[in-house]
Structure 1
Amino acid sequence: MNRKILLFILGFCLCINNFLNAQSIAGVWQQINKSGHTTTLICTENYLMFAVYKVSDKKLVSSGGGSFEILKADAKTILSYKRDFNTEDSTLVGLTVANIFSIDKKKLTVAQGPLAGTWSRIEEKANPTPLSNALWRLRAKEDKDFKMQTVFKGPFKTIKILSGQYFQWASFNIDTHQFFGTFGGVFSKNKEKYTEKIKFSSNNIKVVGTSFEYDCVLNGKDWIHAGQTSKGERTHEIWEKGY
C-alpha cells in the first residue's frame, strides 16, 4: 500500500478514536435544580438510565432509560436516545430522540429533550469492581419452591446499570409500555459481598437511606446474587452482562 495512503488511514483512525474518547459520556452525571430535585444519569458505552428524585421527602419524581449512540452530523455531536421506559409518558416508549450535546472538562451540556441541561460528572473511585461500568439483565430467579426459573429474553426486562459506584435497577415491558418499578443509589463490593445503599425507590420509600448486603459471585458473564429482600424474603438471582 502507498505509504501516504497508509499514513492517511492511520491518521484518520486516530482522529476518530480521539473524537469518540473525547465525546464519551460513560460514567455518572448529576443535576440539582432550585426545587431541590436531584437527577442522576448513569451511562455505559451504549445504554443510559436516569432518575429524578427529591432527597428531603424521599420522593421519586420520574425516571427513564434506553439505548443510545453518539453521532456526528454537520460538525455537530448528536446524542440519539431510544426510550425503553419512561415514567412520565408511556406513549414515548420505543421512540428515538436526537439532541445536540457537548462535553467541556467535567460538564455535559445537552441542548434540549429529556436530558436537557448541564450535567456535572461525579468522580468515582479509581479502581472499579468487575461489576462496574456495565449493564446487567436478570437471567434467572429462584421461585417460592427454591427452584431456579429462567427469565427468557423478550419484551419484559429487568435490568441493572452500574457505573463505578452508582447503580439503578428497573423493570418494564417495552411492548406494552408497562413500568413495574425502579430504585437506585450507590453500591460497593468487598470480596464476595455486594452492598447497595438506596437513594430512591418508586415502590417503597421506606427503604430509602437503608443498605442491603448480598452474597456475590462472578462466574464468567454471570453475576450470582443472593440474600434477603427489603421484605425479609430470600432472594437468589443470576444476572447476565449485556442486553
Structure 2
Amino acid sequence: MKTLFLYCTLLFTFLGGLKAQQSPLGAWKATSGEVTGILLITPAYFSITEFRQNEFIATYGGTWKAAGDGQAAVEITFNSAEKTQVGQATTAPMQLSGDRLLTATLHGGNQEWTRLDNGTGELAGCWQITAREQQGKLHPIANGDRKTLKILTGSRFQWIAINTATGEFFGTGGGTYSFENGTYTEKIDFFSRDNARVGATLTFKGKVTDNSWDYQGLSSKGEALHEIWSRNYQPMP
C-alpha cells in the first residue's frame, strides 16, 4: 500500500511542469527490489500498477489534466487496494525532466523512473468497450457506472474492469503489445484474476476506423472473442 501511494505521489509530481519540448505521455517504469511499477499516461487518463514476477499487487488510476501554475488536477477512478479513494479529486505540483524522473522516496533516498515509450501510435489513448459478440451477434454495452477501460500507450496496454459509482474493482491485466498490418498482439505481464496467465501471448485481427476499434480472436481462456472498443473517454472538464 505505501509503495502504491508513493508511486501515485510521484506521478502527480511529473504529470505537469511541462515545457514545450517535454511531455509526460507514454509508459514509464520503476523497480524496487522484485517489484515493478508501470505508469501509463494518455492525454486524459493515467494508471499505475505494481507487480512481481507472476504476482499482481495493486493498481490505481484516473483522469488528469494540467491545472496551470505547475499543477495537475487528478480524479481517482479506480484503486484496487482502497476503493474509498474512488471519486476523490486533488491537485499536486508537477515536474518533469527529459526521459528520466528522479525523486525522493518517502523513506529517504531516490526513486528513478525510465521512459518506455512516448505515447504515440494508432491505438494510443483510453478506450471503453461498447459492444461484444454473443451467439453470433454483436450486442451493445451501455455506458454506465460499471465499465471496462483499456489504456494504451505506444507499446504497453492495461485493461481495467471497475464500477465508478461504488468503487468496486473487478480485475485488470496488462503488458506489452504490437499492432501491425491488422494484427494486434498482446503479451501479458500481470493478470489480477489468474497469475498463471502471465507470459501468455494473445493475437487478434483488428482494425481502427476513426475512434472505433474492432478486433476478434481467442481470449486468454481460449474462447472466441469479438469486441468493439470506442476511444471516447474524455478529459476532465
Q: What is the CA distance between 1:219 and its match in structure 2?
A: 2.1
Among 58, 61, 73, the residue aligned to 1:62: 58
Q: What is the CA distance between 1:175 and its match in structure 2?
A: 0.4
Matched, 1:140 2:140: no
TM score, norm. by length of structure 2: 0.83
Pairwise mapping of residues 1-243 of structure 1 onto structure 2 (< 5 A)?
A: 19=18, 21-22=20-21, 24-34=23-33, 36-55=34-53, 58-73=54-69, 77-108=70-101, 118-123=112-117, 129-131=121-123, 133-143=124-134, 145-243=135-233
Identity fraction in percent: 29
Q: What is the CA distance between 1:71 and its match in structure 2?
A: 2.2
Whether the aligned pair in 1 keeps the contact of 2:25 and 2:118 (CA below 8 Å) is no
Whether the aligned pair in 2 keeps the contact of 1:100 and 1:110 (CA below 8 Å) is no
In 2: Cα distance, 1:72 partner to 1:200 partner: 35
SS state at 1:69 partner: strand
User: In the superposition, relative to structure 1, how do residues 129 and 24 fare at CA in structure 2: closer, same or farther (>3 Å)?
Assistant: closer
Whether the aligned pair in 2 keeps the contact of 1:86 and 1:93 (CA below 8 Å) is yes
User: In the superposition, relative to structure 1, how do residues 102 and 117 fare at CA in structure 2: closer, same or farther (>3 Å)?
Assistant: farther
Q: What is the CA distance between 1:72 and its match in structure 2?
A: 2.7
Matched AA of 1:100: P
Whether the aligned pair in 2 keeps the contact of 1:101 and 1:109 (CA below 8 Å) is no
In 1: Cα distance, 2:209 partner to 2:36 partner: 35
Q: What is the CA distance between 1:46 and its match in structure 2?
A: 1.8
Q: How big is each residue's C-alpha offset from its partner over 1:179-232, in whole Å with a ceiling of 9 and x where there is no partner?
A: 110000000112111100000010111110110001112222111010111111
Q: What is the CA distance between 1:124 and its match in structure 2?
A: 6.2
In 2: Cα distance, 1:78 partner to 1:109 partner: 18
Larger radius of gyration: 1
In 2: Cα distance, 1:117 partner to 1:242 partner: 34
TM score, norm. by length of structure 1: 0.81
Matched AA of 1:169: W
In 1: Cα distance, 2:44 partner to 2:207 partner: 25
Matched AA of 2:46: L
Higher RCO structure, 1 or 2 (CA under 8 Å, sep 6+): 2
User: In the superposition, relative to structure 1, how do residues 92 and 112 fare at CA in structure 2: closer, same or farther (>3 Å)?
Assistant: farther
Q: State the aligned residue count.
A: 214
Whether the aligned pair in 1 keeps the contact of 2:18 and 2:95 (CA below 8 Å) is no
Q: What is the CA distance between 1:157 and its match in structure 2?
A: 1.4
CA RMSD of aligned residues (A): 2.3
Q: How big is each residue's C-alpha offset from its partner over 1:17-71, in whole Å with a ceiling of 9 and x where there is no partner?
A: x95534531111111013x10010010112101110002xx11111012100122
Matched AA of 1:40: I
Matched AA of 2:64: F
Moved more, 99-108 or 36-45: 99-108
Q: What is the CA distance between 1:117 and its match in structure 2?
A: 5.1
Runs of 4+ in 1 over 6 A off after TM superposition: 110-113
Moved more, 62-71 or 19-28: 19-28
In 2: Cα distance, 1:195 partner to 1:117 partner: 31
Gaps of 5+ in 1: 1-17
Match of 2:8 in 1: none
